[in-house]
């Protein structure tokens, strides 16, 4: 369903938990909370406040925390 981004509750680099609210979108005169699909770090927020998005749009990416911690310990970051 397409909609309008009315609130952005996270920023790039922010740690989030599974189920945490990330965005609020308005569609069909109702507000819909978009939640984090998994715990991790927000990477690549793809939307802006007031932006109209269509079906199947990528709104954000969440990097897995375990992967980031492993890479950091190995010295790759």
Task: Look at residue 69 and tell me whether its pLDDT is greater than 60.
Answer: no
Domain 3-74: which CATH class?
mainly beta
Question: Which pLDDT band, with edges at 50, 70 and 90, does 76 fall under?
Answer: very low
User: Which residues, other chains included, contact 23 with Cβ-Cβ below 8 Å and sequence gap of 6+?
Assistant: 5, 7, 8, 9, 10, 33, 34, 47, 59, 60
Say whether pLDDT at 59 is over 80.
yes
What confidence tier does 1 reach under pLDDT thresholds 50, 70, 90?
confident
pTM as predicted? 0.77
Rg (CA), the chain: 14
User: Hey, where are the domains in the chain?
Assistant: 3-74
Q: What are the pLDDT digits (tens) for 4-17?
A: 999 999 999 999 99
């Amino acid at each position: 369903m397409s909609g309008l981004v009315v609130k952005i509750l996270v920023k790039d680099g922010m740690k989030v938990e599974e189920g945490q609210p990330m965005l609020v979108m308005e569609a069909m005169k109702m507000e819909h909370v978009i939640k984090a699909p998994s715990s991790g770090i927000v990477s690549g927020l793809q939307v802006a406040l007031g932006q109209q998005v269509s079906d199947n749009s990528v709104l954000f990416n969440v990097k897995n925390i375990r992967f980031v911690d492993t890479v950091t310990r190995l010295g790759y970051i």
